[in-house]
């Protein structure tokens, strides 16, 4: 039968498949599956190793040895299924029995009444879940369930194999239905072309073979590799995605290098001038980074550089020097900060650095009065202002520059490639320096900022006070407050951070909110002036309260993470973070960087009753790059950036953490490929892949 059906290309629509009508088509579309290519690249979410399926008759014995977390798999036939309601809480309760010839097992699900519609007595099912001892003996509670066969239509051909691929249910499309479609497509598919250069493809199966192996794993596949997504088949598809990605980045970069940029004329006089601005000796890392920037600014190309470094490594000074290169040779340079508070702080720093030349600086903030703003804009447009500091928002308004030659973005991860492109319109083709607030692990930096050159500040300025980091159980929090009291008594200031309250996120864990914390602090530290800041305050009010703390009028600052963006208060010597488990490691490390900026020994205290293993990473190291890597491994790229970051590629198979070595290889291969020039066909393939991975357009 299958042999007589037409051969299908990857680009065929899923609607070309038998059985895919409008309802299925919509369900597929909602999951982003329109073509056979989309269908095949949506890999099974699990592979059941039949070798690990347990006979029901042996479960009793096995359960005695298993720990709570051990999940088990059984396969059998459903004997009975019915729905009742629990007496106490009036919840839907679905009960069933499964039999496999060695014994039978009771199954229970709460609040999943729909199961009675999708499961029938007589179904051959695979169950995956936790065993528990109930009133009726051993039972499985809330297992995930897959129907393997019903009546005549079994999965005989799949069933003789060792590994059984499982697919997620998409609306009305059951996993096994999807599986059957995939098998059908694989039999009829016109083998796709292999796009990998031969050096990358070495030792890997062809694309077609990879697809077959991923949807029908060979019996001798390694179960661990299948689970981890590291079989040769996975590597093939991941390499293709990463290669397409790397090639796009390489093309963008090559395009940029061809553009002509302004050449900053250097001279002994300029060097003298810069030296005069410097309040202290640069660290070795600052010197290296600045040299790289000077190299860019004098190269004739357009600078596009990422400056990253640990909290407190002195990025601002490097940014200032770069801006001075331009501003002291007749150009204008602008610094964009992510918040008004931070913009004001940068302006203050610049004022100090510029000394009596500070009138050359112009600040531009959204909160300014209309008249004030107009005046500022006029000074920028006329070229009177050589140094400009403002927030992102302003640069989206109608601000024009006389001769903008350098833009520094204090990034905070909120700026994707697209926004950068949009800003380019502001003044010809200025040089770009992007500063990242926290260290970004290398693989992720390559993924998000791959088209930028990189400078890294991996050294802290001398004289930094060590920060003692400690983790307290909530029952033990009094010891943390004692420490705060001692610091306040010694004349220092203190930060207390409360997690932001997200109404969507009302979990079972009772959360102490910022009001409750304020109450606690006022009771615990009577007579101490406390400033409370959170995201719901108006900008003016927020700035006012923040300034009170910066000036020392408020001794204790209670805040949600708004302070993360970088207040510099050297007199603050202690920070307490409540519910530390709510924060990412990098975020905590960033917060920790707010103390230890003065001459006093400083303390970073976390209060948390859970996830203590994870949080211990902060106690163990102060190295922001190591913490960032750990954070990335634990939470994945999306969460690492805190938001669904624009510009993060949407890989279907590749994983930036798992495949980082592969990415490095693909980048090298991309450079080599580009050196030979791309064929029309390669270019067409690349465009398609870029669209599929939702990468920024290649020009």
Q: Is residue 286 close enough to count as binding ligand ADP by CB under 6 A?
A: yes
Q: Does 331 bind ligand ADP (CB under 6 A)?
A: no
* Rounded Cα distance, 146 and 162, in Å: 17
Span interacting with ligand ADP, options 58-66, 86-94, 276-284, 652-660, rule CB under 6 A:
276-284
282 lies in the site for ligand ADP, by CB under 6 A: yes
Q: Which of residues 578-637 bind ligand ADP (CB under 6 A)?
A: 597
Contact region with ligand ADP (CB under 6 A), list: 240-248, 275-283, 381-389, 398-406: 275-283
| Alpha-carbon torsion angle 167, 169, 173, 176, nearest 10 | 40
By CB under 6 A, tell whether 348 contacts ligand ADP. Answer: no
Question: Does the footprint of ligand ADP cover residue 453 (CB under 6 A)?
Answer: no
Interacting partner of 596 out of ligand ADP, Mg ion, none (Cβ under 5 to 8 A depending on kind): none
Residue closest to 74 by CA, chosen among 85, 59, 86, 90? 59
Q: How far apart are CA 219 and CA 217, in angstroms?
A: 6
Residue (75 or 323) nearer to ligand ADP, CB: 323
Q: Which lies closer to ligand ADP via its Cβ, residue 246 or residue 319?
A: 319
Asked if 317 is part of the footprint of ligand ADP (rule: CB under 6 A), the reply reads yes
CA pair distance 331, 262, nearest whole angstrom: 10
Nearer Cβ to Mg ion (341/483):
341
- Count CB neighbours of 336 within 10 A: 25
Whose CA is closest to 657, among 640, 642, 637?
A: 637
| 314 counts as binding ligand ADP under rule CB under 6 A | yes
Q: In what order do the strands lie in the sheet with 404-410?
A: 361-364, 387-391, 332-337, 404-410, 431-436, 304-309, 453-457
Closest residue by Cα to residue 110 from 147, 139, 138, 71: 139
Do residues 356 and 429 touch, judged by C-beta distance below 8 A? no
Return phi, psi of residue 102, to 5°.
-105, -15
Q: With contact defined as beta carbons under 8 Å apart, do 270 and 326 qualify?
A: no
Q: Does residue 461 touch ligand ADP according to CB under 6 A? A: yes
Stretch that binds Mg ion, among 99-107, 174-182, 369-377, 562-570 (CB under 5 A): 562-570
Q: Which of the stretches 201-209, 280-288, 560-568, 664-672 binds Mg ion when contact is defined by CB under 5 A?
A: 560-568
Q: Cβ of residue 454: shortest distance to ligand ADP, in angstroms?
A: 15
Decide whether 178 or 597 has the Cβ nearer to ligand ADP.
597
Per-residue interface string for the shown chain with Mg ion, residues 563-592, x marking contact by CB under 5 A: ---x--------------------------
Cα–Cα distance for residue pair 358/534, rounded to 1 Å: 32
In the chain, what is the greatest distance between 2 CA atoms, to the nearest angstrom? 91
Q: Which is nearer to ligand ADP, 119 or 311 (CB)?
A: 311
Specify the residue, 315 or 630, whose C-beta has the smaller distance to ligand ADP: 315
- Residue 316 found at the interface with ligand ADP (CB under 6 A): yes
**Which token pair is 588?**
């905590």
Min separation Cβ 278 and ligand ADP, Å: 8
- How far apart, in Å, do the first and last CA atoms of the chain sit? 47
Using the rule CB under 6 A, which residue among 33, 201, 311, 588 binds ligand ADP? 311
Token digits for 167? 């697919």
- Of all residues in the shown chain, the one whose CB is closest to ligand ADP is 314
280 near ligand ADP, judged by CB under 6 A: yes
What is the token pair recorded at 495? 């930060």
Q: Which does 309 bind (CB under 5 to 8 A by kind): Mg ion, ligand ADP, none?
A: ligand ADP
Binding residues for ligand ADP, rule CB under 6 A, total 16
- What's the full length of the chain, in residues? 699
> Contacts for 291-296 with beta carbons within 8 Å, 24 or more apart?
292/453, 292/455, 293/318, 293/321, 293/322, 293/325, 293/433, 293/455, 294/264, 294/266, 294/325, 296/431, 296/453
CA dist., res. 500 & res. 483, Å (int): 24
The entry of Mg ion, ligand ADP, none that residue 283 binds, CB within 5 to 8 Å by partner kind = ligand ADP
Least distance (Å) between residue 445 CB and ligand ADP? 16
Torsional sign, CA 575, 471, 462, 590:
negative
Cβ–Cβ < 8 Å for 75, 66:
no
Q: Of 77-85, 309-317, 509-517, 635-643, which segment contacts ligand ADP by CB under 6 A?
A: 309-317
Of residues 429 and 568, the one with the C-beta less far from ligand ADP: 568
Integer Cα distance of 297 and 263 in angstroms: 6
Q: Provide the binding-site residues for ligand ADP, judged by CB under 6 A.
A: 280-283, 286, 309, 311-317, 461, 568, 597
Q: Provide the binding-site residues for Mg ion, judged by CB under 5 A.
A: 566
């Amino acid at each position: 039968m299958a042999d007589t059906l037409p051969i299908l290309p990857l680009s065929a629509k899923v609607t070309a498949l038998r059985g895919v009508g409008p309802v299925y088509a919509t369900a597929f579309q909602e999951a982003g599956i329109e073509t056979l290519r989309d269908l095949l690249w949506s890999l099974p979410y699990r592979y059941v190793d039949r070798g690990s399926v347990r006979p029901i008759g042996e479960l009793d014995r096995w359960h005695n040895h298993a720990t709570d977390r051990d999940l088990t798999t059984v396969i059998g036939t459903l004997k009975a299924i019915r729905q009742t309601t629990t007496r106490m809480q009036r919840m839907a309760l679905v009960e069933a029995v499964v039999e496999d010839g060695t014994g039978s097992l009771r199954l229970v699900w709460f609040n999943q009444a729909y199961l009675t519609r999708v499961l029938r007595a007589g179904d051959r099912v695979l169950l995956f879940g936790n065993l528990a001892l109930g009133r009726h003996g051993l039972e499985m509670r809330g297992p995930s369930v897959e129907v393997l066969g019903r009546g005549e239509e079994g999965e005989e051909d799949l069933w003789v194999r060792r590994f059984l691929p499982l697919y997620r249910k998409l609306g009305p499309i059951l996993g096994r239905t999807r599986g059957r479609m995939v098998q059908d497509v694989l039999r009829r598919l016109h083998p796709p072309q292999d796009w990998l250069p031969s050096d990358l493809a070495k030792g890997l199966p062809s694309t077609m073979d990879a697809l077959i192996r991923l949807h029908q794993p060979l019996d001798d596949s390694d179960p661990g590799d299948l689970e981890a997504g590291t079989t040769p088949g996975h590597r093939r598809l991941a390499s293709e995605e990463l290669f397409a990605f790397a090639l796009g980045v390489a093309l963008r970069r090559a395009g940029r290098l061809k553009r002509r940029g302004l050449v900053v004329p250097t001279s002994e006089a300029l060097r003298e001038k810069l030296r005069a601005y410097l309040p202290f000796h640069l660290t070795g890392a600052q010197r290296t980074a600045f040299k790289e920037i000077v190299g860019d600014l004098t190269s004739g190309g357009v600078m596009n550089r990422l400056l990253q470094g640990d909290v407190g490594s002195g990025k601002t000074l490097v940014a200032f020097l770069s801006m001075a290169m331009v501003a002291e040779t007749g150009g204008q340079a602008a610094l964009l900060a992510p918040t008004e508070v931070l913009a004001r702080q940068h302006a203050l720093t610049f004022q100090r650095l510029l000394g009596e030349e500070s009138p050359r600086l112009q600040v531009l903030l959204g909160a300014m009065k209309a008249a004030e703003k107009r005046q500022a804009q006029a000074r920028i447009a006329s070229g009177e202002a050589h140094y400009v500091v403002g927030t992102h928002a302003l640069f989206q308004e109608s601000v024009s520059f006389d001769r903008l030659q350098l833009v520094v973005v204090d990034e905070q991860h909120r700026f994707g490639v697209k926004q950068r492109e949009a800003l380019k319109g502001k003044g010809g083709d200025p040089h770009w320096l992007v500063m990242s607030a926290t260290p970004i692990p290398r693989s992720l930096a390559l993924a998000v900022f791959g088209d930028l050159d990189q400078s890294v500040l991996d050294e802290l300025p001398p004289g930094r006070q060590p920060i003692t980091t400690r983790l307290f159980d909530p029952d033990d929090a009094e010891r943390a407050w004692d420490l705060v009291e001692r610091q306040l008594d010694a004349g220092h200031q203190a930060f207390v951070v409360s997690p932001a309250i997200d109404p969507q996120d009302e979990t079972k864990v009772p959360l102490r909110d910022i009001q409750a914390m304020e109450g606690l602090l006022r009771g615990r530290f009577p007579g101490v002036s406390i400033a409370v800041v959170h995201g719901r305050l108006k900008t003016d009010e927020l700035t006012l309260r923040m300034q009170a703390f910066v000036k020392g009028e408020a001794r204790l600052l209670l805040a949600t993470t708004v302070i993360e963006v970088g207040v510099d208060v050297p007199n603050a010597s202690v920070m307490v973070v409540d519910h530390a488990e709510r924060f990412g490691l990098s975020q905590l490390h960033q917060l920790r960087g707010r103390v230890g900026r003065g001459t006093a020994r400083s303390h970073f205290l976390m209060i948390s009753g859970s996830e203590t293993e994870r949080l211990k990473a902060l106690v163990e190291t102060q190295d922001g790059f190591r913490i960032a890597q750990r954070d990335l491994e634990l939470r994945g790229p999306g969460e690492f950036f805190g938001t669904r970051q624009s510009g993060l590629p949407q890989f279907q198979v590749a994983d930036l953490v798992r495949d980082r070595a592969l990415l490095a290889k693909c980048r090298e291969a991309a450079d080599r490929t580009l050196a030979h020039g791309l064929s029309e066909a390669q270019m067409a393939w690349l465009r398609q892949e870029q669209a599929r991975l939702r990468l920024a357009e290649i020009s």
